Amino acid sequence: MEIFQQIVLGILQGIMEWIPISSEGVLFLVNSNFFHGADVNLFIRQALFLHLGTFFSALIYFRKDVKELIGGFFNYLHTSTEIKKSLKFFIIATLISGILGLAILKILEFSDITKIPFTSTSVNIFIGLLLIVTGTLQLKASSAGYRRVLHLNNKDGVFLGVLQGFAALPGLSRSGLTISGLLFRNFDETVALRLSFLMSLPIVLLGNILLNISDIVFVKEMFFGFIFSFIFGLLTIQLLMTFSRKVKFGFFAITFGFLTILAGILGLF
């Protein structure tokens, strides 16, 4: 990969990871149309490396929360009820999403879907449809939530774990699905954003370790992608948390989905 390509993908990853528009979908769209890369399995591994940049941006932004959770894990009996419920939620959600996500990736790897020729038109239409699904879910979710972290239970962990697992499919937004799921479960929007962002930490780290550990090669081109992903990820988190009660993400996802389908049909790329 060229440095310019990595910079572009890193910036997109840093912005799109936290907006309920699929970061992997947008990256795959740009990568296939402008940089002529349509290998799904190779792309997923490259995208996971870019996710490390946004992983560290979230880790730094939510460092106090992470410190409390780690401390509560090693001192579980004497920690607060809120920390206990948060730990149970993240553990259940991570286990379920990890197993489901890995199963989906294995199915993609060994099924006939890998033999389908991914032309620009087919890629655009497929991803556009999935983006519309994500946006529709987001708009249907209730924004008048009342639940807080203290209201977390095991059903929330299972439900959100399943949603996050399906985000392994390119085009389905992890943040869009998890934020929508939390809103459907009547959580306050700001709480939903915080929980969704924190949920990304363990699954992205585990995903990179399990899928990329044997293939990671630290070359300068990928380092540029990592750095730009980190910088723009940190800036975007700050912006979204500040204006979390004013932004309607679903409209962005649906609009982008329709434009993507139109671009594919008209052959604009």
At 4 the pLDDT is 87
Task: Quick: pLDDT tens for 163-172.
Answer: 999 888 766 7
At 215 the pLDDT is 60
Q: Grade residue 237 by pLDDT with cuts at 50, 70 and 90.
A: very high
Q: Grade residue 152 by pLDDT with cuts at 50, 70 and 90.
A: very high
- 207 contact partners, CB below 8 Å, separation of at least 6: 48, 51, 98, 101
A 10 A CB-CB count for 265 gives: 12
CA dist 184 and 120 (Å) reads: 34
Residue 123: C-alpha distances to residues 50, 59, 112, 119, 130 (Å): 21, 32, 16, 6, 11
Which of residues 45 and 139 earns the better pLDDT score?
Answer: 139
pLDDT of 269 higher than 60: no
CA dist 211 and 41 (Å) reads: 10
Contact 79, 238 (CB under 8 A): no
Helix, strand or coil, per DSSP, at residue 213 = coil
Q: Grade residue 79 by pLDDT with cuts at 50, 70 and 90.
A: very high
Pull the structure tokens for residue 194.
């915080």
Task: Quick: pLDDT tens for 30-73.
Answer: 877 777 655 666 666 677 778 889 999 999 999 999 999 999 99
Compute the Cα dihedral for 234, 256, 51, 71 and give only its sign.
positive
Q: Mean pLDDT for the chain?
A: 81
CA dist 237 and 64 (Å) reads: 15
pLDDT of 223 higher than 80: yes
At 170 the pLDDT is 65
Please state, for a pLDDT cut of 70, what percent of the chain lies above it: 78
CA dist 77 and 70 (Å) reads: 13
Helix, strand or coil, per DSSP, at residue 187 = strand
CA dist 84 and 159 (Å) reads: 18
Q: Grade residue 102 by pLDDT with cuts at 50, 70 and 90.
A: confident
Please state, for a pLDDT cut of 90, what percent of the chain lies above it: 34
Contact 94, 236 (CB under 8 A): no
Which of residues 218 and 60 earns the better pLDDT score?
Answer: 60
Q: Grade residue 227 by pLDDT with cuts at 50, 70 and 90.
A: very high
- Give the mean pLDDT of 118-147: 70
Task: Quick: pLDDT tens for 154-163.
Answer: 999 999 999 9
pLDDT of 221 higher than 50: yes
Alpha helices in 20-78 (DSSP H): 23-34, 40-61, 63-74
Which of residues 240 and 63 earns the better pLDDT score?
Answer: 63
Q: Which of 97, 177, 191 is nearest to 141 (CA)?
A: 177
At 177 the pLDDT is 83
Domain ranges in the chain? 3-266
Compute the Cα dihedral for 34, 208, 175, 58 and give only its sign.
negative
